[in-house]
Copies of this chain bind each other. A is one copy, B any other.
């Protein structure tokens, strides 16, 4: 049986290996994101990640020479995925109400489909973004500022009620992300093992209602809105 291998062509080998390497790195990062989310950066051992990914610790370190490199790759992937879904949502001349509804839906979808991604990112920010602050500054902040400008344009065009656009966006983020980050606590309150699709639908309705109600108030009248 070994004789069949004698004249194997070595030509595509290199390319195949490169492709495999990219794929393997992506698989390792996909496993790592869960471990980092559950255990934190220091609580994560590369041995655990390697085991989950089905290779040896030393072999993992061939692909990611240091733990930090793996962590940065994980955060890079998280940000790539998130930006892919969020970019250009506020582009075009759609109705503000539809844009906001779509925005909330997209963020909730991310929380439901990629809870570990959201959690790793959250833990990094909560602990001061010491390792990833520069990337957030370079990649996230500009996008956020653009979204805020869109909101403010809507306000100056009289298409939505006057409201602090920055804090409105903070509020939308907070409400949608919490369904990934704090789902453990929510599940306890709702008395389930984990959140269901219906919970996310209920959440969407409440959040969209709140956001649309906030931008619909015609004016700060009556001295009622504080």
Chain A residues with CB under 8 Å of chain B are 37-43, 101, 119, 122-123, 125-130, 133, 136-137, 140-141, 144-145, 148, 163-164, 166-168, 170-171, 173-175, 177-179, 181-182, 184-186, 188-190, 202-214, 216-217, 224-226
Contacts and interface: CB of A to CB of B under 8 A. Distances in A.
A122 B126 contact: yes
8 contacts: A37-B127, A40-B43, A101-B226, A126-B184, A163-B206, A164-B205, A167-B206, A210-B213
A189 B144 contact: yes
B168 A40 contact: no
Nearest to A186: B170
A145 to B, nearest CB: 7
A209 B214 contact: yes
Given A101-B226, A164-B206, A167-B206, 9 more contacts: A37-B126, A119-B126, A122-B126, A125-B182, A125-B184, A126-B182, A126-B184, A140-B185, A173-B182
Given A211-B210, A217-B213, A40 B41 contact: yes
One complex includes copies of this chain to the number of 2
Q: Is the interface of A mostly helix, strand, loop or mixed?
A: helix
A141 B40 contact: no
A188 B39 contact: no
Contacts of A178: 170, 173-174, 177-178
Nearest to A200: B167
